[in-house]
Every structure is written in structure tokens, then in C-alpha cells.
Amino acid sequence: MLSPATLLEALPLPSPSSTPTIATFGGNVVSFSFLLSTMVWVPVLVALVLAVVPNPRGRHDRAIRLSAFWTNFGLLMLGLIGYTQFQVFSTGLQFEEKLPWLTSLGVSYHLGVDGISIAVLLLSSLIGVVAVIASSSIRERTREYFVLLLLLQAAANGVIVAHDYFVLVLFWSAAALPLALLVVGWSGSGEALGGAGAAGGHRLGGVLPGLTSTGLRRLGRLLAYWGLGSAALAAAGFVLYHASGGGGFDFDVLLKSDPGPRAQVVVGILIVIAAGSRLPLFPLHSWTKEVFAQAPVGVAVLAAGSATRLGGYLLVRVLAGAEHDGSRLLSHFIAALAAITIVYAALAAWRAVDLRRGAAHLALIPGGITVLGVSGLTPLALDGAVLSIFAGGLAAALLVGAAATLSDRAESSSLTVLAGLASRMPKLAWLLLAGGFAVLGVPFAASFPAEVMIVLGAFATQPWAVFAAGAGLVVAAGALARTFHRTLFGPANPEASPVGDASLSQVWYLGLLAGALLWVGILPSGPKLGGVPFFDPGLANVINSATSDLAAPYVAPAK
Amino acid sequence: MSYLAFAPEVIVAVLALAALLAGPAGPVRLRPRRAGVVPGAVSAGIVIALALELIFGAALIGGAYAQDRLALFGKAAALLALLLAVAVTDWDREAVTARGWRPLGLVLVGGLGLMVVASASGLILLWAGLAVAVLAAVFVLALGEPARVARRLVAAAAGALLLALAGILIVVVSTGQSGLAQITHALAGHAPPVAVAIGVLLVVAGLGAGMAVAPIWLGGRHTAPFAVGAGFCLIVIAAGLVLAKVTGAASTSYPGWSPALQVAAVAAMAAGGFGALSVARLGRLLGWLSLTQVGWFLAALSSHQRGGVGAGLYLLAALAAAAAAGPQLIAAAEAGGLPGLSARQPWRAAALVCSLLSLAGVPPLAGFFAEFSVGAGLSRSGGFWVLTVGLGAGILGLAAVVRAVRRLFLDAAADDVRRPAGAGAATPWLAVVGAWAAALVVAGWGLLANPGLDLAVQGAAALGLR
């Protein structure tokens, strides 16, 4: 009779090999080498089909909602399969696809993932499902909403798997349009699209009724920052292209050239602007009010959870991963930006009189933590930075989503109205608490190991920034305690309208986020049975397979 | 067999003649119920011409009227733009009964001039083709305008053409050559004489001004949108090809016109971006966004490199494809009310939005691919300040166009508002197919980028650029 230990030994577990095999989807059983293209283009195809299918008087709204859900669920399954089949002992690109595209420019359709991108792709897939569930209350222009949501999801996936700068810019820029339309199209009713008073004031108000000057200002602010980020990203690519002698835009060519310190600093500044406009970092953050605090729950969750995390991913991939001199020269500047962002977010949350606004400010903190890790430029800090992209995305999405859901159910987000809700909304109260704690990085949340690694790793190189960020986190904890005390545990407001707890779908989507945070927080290296990884290779292991190479140039040679 | 490369010219000439002769004013009178056949037949003829061009156009034929890669690219781009302009038009709305098919015939004559420009290897033939294309465009525009406006139009076009002619004559006289290859050879290795410089600058000034004014005209209110869209394409493609040929031939060894072209490019891009942001009417938006694209094209010419100029030619074709159908789509959309257009006429809304987004450089449409290619060319030649302005103009264009997209797709039509007369009229099948085709071409440009951009770069190489 075989013992369990013998059975485990017989399992085809990953093992170190001098000639690592590159993973293909299906473990070479099913030949399916277009996993990444599937994850990028299937949402686009479904969006196109949904856009053209007749839907008289919204008769098929439910089917459209279900199509969006099953598409994202399928993507999550594909992401999980890709994640579990990822070869953690291989440092190269996996699931790679490469086709020539604009040959005269040296552009190829080149996709691939390493340990960093597969982790972010998993985050994006999970957030995609959560965003669709969170959007179940959308009743107005359902078809258009889910088409745009799917396009936004596809653009985020495209950025993550791109291994060619042109492809990266294409998907990065493509995300701006659907998000802008989602924000101006579904952001509440009165204030978001401007009140009647605004209509006559702006020249466009009269000609384009419905898009009044308040709506225009918001649209303009979002597009200004995201457009600036896209332009900066493209400009960085052109500088690198010029410096590399016009060899091409493939990462293997463009990011492996050595353009010299001056060009690297220029590229670094442009990349910081691009990343800072998305994460966002102070002072490129003011669009978050519209998206995190006023957009529909699903949009806010998708933006906070995955679309904005791409800024951190860009910093890791392009700046820390390729421009080593530029990273070193700019590290103090980047650390200062991270610290200022965290302190600003905490102070702004302290002053907030609106629950969603407060949550929107606190959702800036995970981005600041990630950037602090990038500025550390040590193996431990970079490891933590990548883990914090994942954990920070979940934490920000949970906090923003729980705050939005609670506000929706209570029919107000004002802290003067919301009071003593824990007894009436126990589930939502606990989920909101979990989101707040996760943003702070308490033990058992995935953000805890990330923050510990960042603090320990960055303290040697950026002590003042770490100290300032720590002070910011203390203020943020105070702000959270104040808000939670008033909203959840204080005396109930007798004049507030009666409210009920979260619905099943709301518990589901918020619970998924909280569960993922706990899973990675408790088991960052995955579960082990008899000392052997069991079905989950461990997010920390997967990330570490890539960050060891990433951090190698920053490790001082032993004397 | 290789001379089949010139078959498209013959087909377009025959179509032009037939269209000019048909109708109430001509000797061939069609019955009203047969009138819808004409645009269908013309579209089919252009499709055949385009297919022949793509099949047989790869042949290399020398001489004054040459067939090289630039000719192949230019002729294909012209035919594609003409096809989209004809096919997308709702001919029931165009006032064909009063003017017969003369607008269509004149546009086809202009198309023939464009093909001459694409194939001409000498300055005189180049100017002749340019004059035919521009004058045909201006006459077809003038047909639908009051006499005073028509006179101004003709005068402006004549002024630009004469300026270009003066420049061309100066170049011919001062070099003693009229062939582009001979001029390149004569000027090789040293800076051009002052006279040649003045001549080229006159050409740049005349045609650059024409290209800058055309988008502003595109954005005006017009009674015959077909003439506006097709006329714009004729003027912009013809002027663009002539500019590329003249600056390419005269500056392969001395890129002395770069600063002038860069200043013009920056002015056009900045004006286009701010203009787009400041207007509300879709027609005006189309015009300003097109001006931005003209700026990108001039910036591409300033790179004086094969890759940059090739990208510029690629952008010119993308601009023509996006702008050719724009005025007709806008006119038809505005007639039925913009809000809720996507629900009533999804093909028209899709084509219109694709055109506008492409002109704003939004990925993954034609304009984005073209602008990125030009950007790469500019970065290779070190034109970063032009690139910076272009990227800034792109942000402005994006902000401007998102408002329009929201209006078309997210604003529901108010049921209690009475629809304008004719809003519910059935759309001819050709216009529906044309709108879908326009949307597909603009949206699929990226997939076609590999052969398209490579062909354009080969076209730039045919100019002698390195």
C-alpha cells in the first residue's frame, strides 16, 4: 500500500533544473500556446458581440450581465491555471507569444509573463470577476456599461502581459477611454454629471446637454492625468528608442540597451509621471475623487484593484527592471514621492467628512507603499513591492468597495449621517474593517508581509522615507479608528433612513477580496503537505522567481 | 502584363466620364428609379481598380509616368479614400437631381489627378496632377456653395497652386532638371543653391497652407457633405504626396527645410488640439482633429528619413480614410438627432466614432498606429520638441473626442422631442455597407499595419531617402 508521502513523491512537482522547461498552457498535455492572447482578446471579442447584439428595451440585460460575469470567471480560471502551472524555478518568460507586427519599426506582438506579471495578472483576473459581481445593481444602459467594463479589463490584461513597448503603450493608452466613459456615464445622478445650474455657464453645456461644466471638469481632470501618463509613457519609449539606435521596441532590445545615465534619468522621470498618474502618487492624484468616491461600485473596485496597480507594475518592470542607473539616481526622489503620498493620504482621510472620500484617500496608501519598495532597490524591498502590488490592489478594492456598498445601502456617505451601523449591517461593517486593516498592513492580511519586507528592505537605503511613511500609517490608523468609531460603533442616528445588511452578491464580492487577502497573508508561500507545496505554488515563490533577477544589479558585490 | 498596373487609371477615367455624362444635365439620362445604380456601379468600379492596383501595382515601371512603391501606395490610398467617400454617402440626401452626377464625376476626375501625382516622376507632371486634383476638389466644393464663397474658394486654390508652380519653376530653372531623380542627383553632396531653397520653400508654403486650410473648411457647415469629404481627401493626399516628393528630392543630402516644416507642424498640432477642445459641433471637431493630423504629417516630413517620411505617408492614408466618410456621417447623424444614434443607426455611430477616435490618435485605431510610427521617426531624427507638442495635442484631442463619444453612445434620445423631418427615412444599403466598411478600415488599420507601413516606407525609399 502506498503511503501519502510516496504519492506526493510521485507528483510532478517543479524541481530545479539546469535546462528549465518553459511552461505552456495545459502542461504540454493540451497544446494551447495562446493563453495570454486569450486573456487579452476574449473580453474584447465578447464586448464587440455584446455591443452589436440587438437588445430592444433592455430585454437582454440579464444575459449581458451574465455574459460579462462568465467571461471574467473564465479569465480567472485561465489565470489560475496559468498561475498553478507557472515554473517557479525558471527565470525567463513563460507562455510566450511572438509575432512580427510593424517590422519597419521593430515592433512585434510579443506577450509573455514572468513571476511578477503572472501575479499581477492573477490580481487583474480576480478583480475582474469581483467588479462584475459588484456591478449587479447597474440598471441603466446595462449593455454599454458591461462593454466598457470588459474593454477596461482587456486593456489592463494587455498592459500586464506586454513584452513589447508598443504593445504596452497601446493597451496603457487604450484603458483611458473606457474608464472615462464609465466615470462620466454612470457616476451618480445629480452631482456627477453637473446640476442644472452648470448648464448655461459653459459653452458646451448648451450644445451637449447632459454634459455640463461639472461633468466636463471631472472628465477633463481624469483625462488630463491619464492622458499625461500615456504621453509620458510614449515619450519614455521614444527616448529609449532613440538612445538604442532605433533597434526596435521589443523589451529584449529596448530595455536591454544601455542609454547612459542622463537618458536613463529622463526616462525615469517620464516613467514616474506615467506611473504616478495611475497609482496615483501625489500630486497626480486628484482624479481619484471621481473614480474611487463617485463612480459606480464596480468601476471603483476595478480601478482601485487593478487599473491603478499598473502604475506600480510599470515602475517595477521598466524603471527598476531596466534602467538601473536611472533608478539609483532617482531613488531618493521616488522615495520622497511615496512618503508624501502616504502622509497626504492619511491627513486627507483624517479631515474627510464623507466615507467614500475618506476611503478614496486611504486607497492611495498601498500605491505609496509599493513605490517606497521600488525606491529601496534591495532584493527584499523589491520583493515586497511586487507583493504589495497584489496585496495593495486587493486591500484598496476591498476598502473602496465596502465603503461604496455601505454608502449605497445607507443612502448617504456623509459621516454626519452615518452612525452606529455595525449593529444593523454587521457583515458590511466587518468587511469595511477588514479593508481598512488590510490597507494598514495588519498581520494575517497579504499586505502585512509586503509591508514588512518593504520596511526592512528599504530602511537601509531610504531611512527617512520609511520613517515618514510609518508616521503616515500611524495617522492613517487614527483616521480609520475615528471614522469606524463614528460610522460603525458610535450611537445610531435616529433620523437616518432604516438600512439592511449587504445582499448576497455584495457579501460574495467583498468576501472574495477579503478571502484572497487572508489566503496570501496567512500562506504567502502556499500551503504545504508534508513539506511539499500543495496545489498553490505560493505567490511569494512565484514572485521571487523573477525578483531575484530583477534585484541582481542592485546587489553590491561581496568584498 | 506589367502595364496592367495602369489599368486603375483607365477605370477611374471611364467612371469619371460616365458620371459626368449621366443625369438630367448630361446626354445620358437615367430614370429616377435607376439613379441608385450609379454610386453602386462607381463603388464596384473603384473596388476593381483597387484590386488591380494591389495585384499588378507591384510591377516596377520607369519613365515620366512611373510605377514604383510610392505610386502603388499613393494610388491605393487614393482609391480607398474615394471608395469610402462614395460608398458611405446617402445619395438620396445628396441633391443629385439638380446637379446630375457632376459632383461624383468631378471627384473621380480629381482622383485621376491624384493618381497622376502618385506616379509622376517629374515636377511638371507632378504639378499638372496636383492642379487637376485640387481644382476638381475646389469645383466640386464650389458647386454646393453661393457664388461669392465659390469665387473665394477658387481664388484661394489658384493662389496656392500658383505659389507651388512658381516654386517648382524656380527649382527647374535653377537646377536645369525637371525629373525628381535628376534633381536629387544634381544636388547630391552639397547644400542646395539659394534659388532652389527659395523654390522649395514656396512649394512648402503654398501646399502647407492648402493642407492647413482644408481641415478648417472640412469643419464648416455645408449642403453637400460628399463633396466636402471627398474634396478634402483629394486636396490633402495630393498636396501631401507633392510635398513628400519635392522635399524628398531636394533634401536627401541637406535637410534644410526641417525647421520650417517643424514650426508649421507644431502650429498645426497645437491649433488642432486647442481648437478641438473648444468646439462642440461634430463637424468642427472633425476639422480640428484633421488639422492635428496634418501637423503630424508635416512633422513626419521634417524627419527627412525613410522611416519618418514613410510613417507620414502611412498617416496621410489613415487621415484620408478617417476623414473621407466623416462629413457624410455627421450630416446624416445630425439630421436624425445625435443622442441615441447608436441605438437607431449603430453602423453610422460606429463609423463616426471610429473616425473621430482615429483622428484623435486613440488606440487601437488607424490614427494611433500612424502617430506612433511618426513618433518613432521623429525620435530617430531627434525631433523631440515636435514630438512633445504632438503628444500634448493628443491629450487635448482625446478629451475633446470623449465628449462626442459620450453624446453618441451614452445619451439616450428624448422620446418626447419631435424628430426632424426625414430622420426616420430608410438608409440605402450602400450607405450602410459603406459605414461598416469605413469603421472596419479605421479599426482594422493596425492589423493592416504590417503590409501598409512597410509599403509606405518602401515608397519613401523610392524618393531616395535613407
Q: What is d(CA B304, CA B378) in angstroms, rounded to the nearest whole number?
A: 9
Instruction: Read off the pTM.
Output: 0.87
Partners of A528 in the beta sheet? A533
Q: How confident is the model at residue B53 (pLDDT cuts 50, 70, 90)?
A: confident
Give the up-direction half-sphere exposure of residue A398: CA atoms within 13 A in the CB hemisphere.
36
**Distance between A1 CA and the closest CA of chain B, angstroms:** 59
Q: Which of A125-129, A408-412, B450-454 has the highest mean pLDDT?
A: A125-129
Give the chain B residue nearest A206 (alpha carbons). Answer: B280
Size of interface A-B (CB pairs under 8 A): 119
Distances (CA, A) of A256 to A113, A171, A324: 17, 22, 11
Is the model's pLDDT at A558 over the cut of 70?
no
Nearest to A220 among B399, B412, B449 (CB): B399
How high is the mean pLDDT of chain A? 83
Q: Which of A121-125, A326-330, B171-175 has the highest mean pLDDT?
A: A121-125
Query: Which residues of A fall within a CB distance of 8 Å from B457?
Result: 104
Q: How confident is the model at residue A188 (pLDDT cuts 50, 70, 90)?
A: low
Q: Which residue has the higher pLDDT, B13 or B442?
A: B13
**Is the CB of B387 less than 8 angstroms away from the CB of A235?**
yes
Q: How confident is the model at residue B321 (pLDDT cuts 50, 70, 90)?
A: confident
Please name the residue ranges forming H helices in B251-364.
Answer: 258-278, 282-302, 306-324, 326-336, 341-344, 346-359
Query: Which residues of A fall within a CB distance of 8 Å from B280?
Result: 203-204, 207-208
Q: Residue B21, exposed/middle/buried by CB under 10 A (0-12, 13-18, 19+)?
A: middle
How confident is the model at residue A138, as a pLDDT? 84
Cβ atoms of residues B464 and B184 within 8 Å: yes
Q: Which DSSP letter does residue B414 get?
A: P
Nearest to B363 among A52, A141, A173 (CB): A173
Q: What is d(CA A406, CA A3) in angstroms, rounded to the nearest whole number?
A: 51
How confident is the model at residue B24, as a pLDDT? 58
Cβ atoms of residues B132 and B238 within 8 Å: no
How high is the mean pLDDT of chain B? 82
**Is the CB of B382 less than 8 angstroms away from the CB of A242?**
yes
**Is the CB of A177 less than 8 angstroms away from the CB of B411?**
no
* Residue B145 forms contact with A (CB below 8 Å): no
Cell of A237: 519609449
Give the chain B residue nearest A44 (alpha carbons). Answer: B364
Cell of A75: 479569465
Taking alpha carbons only, the member of A271, A314, A251, A306 closest to residue A112 is A251
**Is the CB of B402 less than 8 angstroms away from the CB of A181?**
yes
What number is the average pLDDT over the span A538-547?
Answer: 85
**Range of lowest pLDDT (A254-263, A378-387, A494-503):** A494-503
Nearest to A185 among B357, B394, B406 (CB): B406
Q: What is d(CA A51, CA A60) in angstroms, rounded to the nearest whole number?
A: 12
What number is the average pLDDT over the span A460-470?
Answer: 92
Cβ atoms of residues B82 and B111 within 8 Å: yes
Taking alpha carbons only, the member of A235, A303, A306 closest to residue A271 is A235
Q: Which residue has the higher pLDDT, B58 or A172?
A: A172
Residues B333-372: tens digit of each pLDDT: 777 677 667 677 777 888 888 888 888 888 888 889 999 9
Which is it for strands A532-533 and A94-102: parallel, antiparallel or unpaired? unpaired
Is the model's pLDDT at B219 over the cut of 90?
no
Query: Which residues of B fall within a CB distance of 8 Å from A159?
Result: none
Radius of gyration of chain A from Cα atoms?
A: 23
**Is the CB of A104 less than 8 angstroms away from the CB of B372?**
no
Q: Taking chain B, what is the end-to-end CA distance rounded to the nearest angstrom?
A: 31
**Range of lowest pLDDT (A264-268, B89-93, B270-274, B283-287):** B89-93
How confident is the model at residue B254, as a pLDDT? 60
How confident is the model at residue A37, as a pLDDT? 92
How confident is the model at residue A211, as a pLDDT? 45
Please name the residue ranges forming H helices in B191-281.
Answer: 194-218, 225-250, 258-278
Q: What is d(CA B367, CA B274) in angstroms, rounded to the nearest whole number?
A: 18
Q: What is d(CA B452, CA B81) in angstroms, rounded to the nearest whole number?
A: 14
Residues B149-198: tens digit of each pLDDT: 888 888 888 888 899 899 989 988 888 888 888 888 877 777 777 888 88
Q: Find all residues with CB under 8 Å of A40, minimum gap 6, and list them.
A: A111, A154, A157, A158, A161, A171
How confident is the model at residue B28, as a pLDDT? 57
**Distance between B21 CA and the closest CA of chain A, angstroms:** 41
Q: Find all residues with CB under 8 Å of B151, minimum gap 6, and list them.
A: none
